[in-house]
Each structure stands twice: as structure tokens, then as C-alpha cells.
């Protein structure tokens, strides 16, 4: 993550202890974007729940694995939102129905897409729009606004 930039990225070991560090970094990124507090809490909760699901369910007990979180800021004419993807390379071991975690993710975000395939699981979330920050100049929305760009990764 580069503070004050429109991108956030982190890749970490699929271990519960790593979630604390990841949440701190995500919060710092959103604060640097001057994200309103209530909406910031929703984003952190949703991304945390999706990441926790990856840590708990993607890999068999004792098998190493990784989780990647990639986010980007999308600017509109009068508002902005973040698109964040949580990815693992494990095997989906959950049920087809939403449990508490995915219910919370859907309640906190404007849009949620989940894809399971042979390469793992990808959860893509779009936050609710918030007003433009005073110091941010509007730019046109990207045609691929729901696909986070993959900047260079930082390992923890």
C-alpha cells in the first residue's frame, strides 16, 4: 500500500493472526482517502469477513495458503467508491448458502460477487458511494470499474 494513493494491496499467509495487521493497513488506506467513518467501518467489516472466510475455509487445517486483498478507488463526478477483491487459491469448503460472514458482507457493501473455481475463490465488493473528498479532483469512471488493478504486492 502506498498511503494517499488510489490503490491498496496486500498478500498474507492464511493465518488468523495475520488478519489484525491486514485490517490496520486497510483502515490506514481508507483514512488517507478521507473516507467517512461509518462507511469506513462498513468496508473494513466486509473485507475482514471475506478475508476471515478465506483464512478459515479455503485451505485444509495445517495446509499453508495465502490470501490477497486488492482495492482501488473509483472516482465519479460527484461521488467515489472503492472496489476490493479478496482472493484465495484454496478449495471452497463452505456451503452454498450465506452464513453470518457473507450476510454481513452483503449488508455492508453495495455489490458483492463471489466466484469459486479450480483456482480458488474471488470475492469482489463495491462499497456504497460517498461524496468526493475536497482534495480529490473528479476523473471519469473506468470501463472496468469493478475489476481492481493489481499493483505491486507487499508481503507481511
Q: What contacts 24+ positions apart, CB below 8 Å, involve 14-20? A: 14/54, 14/55, 14/58, 14/59, 14/64, 14/65, 14/66, 14/67, 14/88, 14/90, 15/55, 16/52, 16/55, 16/56, 18/55, 18/67, 18/156, 19/48, 19/51, 19/52, 19/55
Distance CA 50, CA 48 (A): 6
Distance from the Cα of residue 126 to its chain's centroid: 9
Q: For each of the chain's 156 residues, which pLDDT tens digit applies?
A: 444 579 999 999 999 999 988 899 999 999 999 999 999 999 999 999 999 999 989 998 888 999 999 999 999 999 999 999 999 999 876 655 567 788 999 999 999 999 999 999 999 999 999 999 775 444 555 555 555 555 444 444
The predicted pLDDT at position 1 comes to 44
CA angle 44, 84, 9 (to 5 degrees): 90
What is the bridge-based pairing of β-strands 120-126 and 130-131?
unpaired
The predicted pLDDT at position 129 comes to 97
- Which of these, 86, 75, 78, 77, lies nearest to 5 by C-alpha position? 75
The predicted pLDDT at position 2 comes to 44
Name the residue ranges covered by the structural domains of the chain.
Answer: 7-131
- Please determine, looking at this structure, whether the domain spanning 7-131 carries the CATH number 3.30.565.10: yes
Amino acid at each position: 500500500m502506498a498511503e494517499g494513493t488510489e490503490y491498496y494491496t496486500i498478500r498474507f499467509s492464511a493465518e488468523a493472526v495475520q488478519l489484525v495487521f491486514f485490517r490496520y493497513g486497510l483502515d490506514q488506506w481508507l483514512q488517507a482517502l478521507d473516507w467517512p467513518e461509518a462507511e469506513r467501518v462498513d468496508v473494513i467489516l466486509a473485507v475482514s469477513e471475506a478475508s476471515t472466510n478465506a483464512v478459515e475455509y479455503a485451505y485444509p487445517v495445517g495446509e499453508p495458503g495465502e490470501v490477497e486483498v486488492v482495492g482501488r478507488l473509483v472516482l465519479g463526478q460527484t461521488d467515489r467508491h472503492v472496489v476490493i477483491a479478496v482472493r484465495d487459491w484454496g478449495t471452497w469448503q463452505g456451503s452454498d448458502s450465506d452464513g453470518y460472514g457473507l450476510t454481513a458482507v452483503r449488508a455492508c457493501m453495495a455489490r458483492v460477487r463471489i466466484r469459486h473455481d479450480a483456482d480458488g475463490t474471488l470475492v469482489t465488493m463495491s462499497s456504497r458511494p460517498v461524496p468526493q473528498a475536497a482534495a480529490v479532483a473528479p476523473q471519469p469512471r473506468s470501463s472496468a470499474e469493478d475489476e481492481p488493478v493489481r499493483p505491486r504486492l507487499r508481503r507481511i
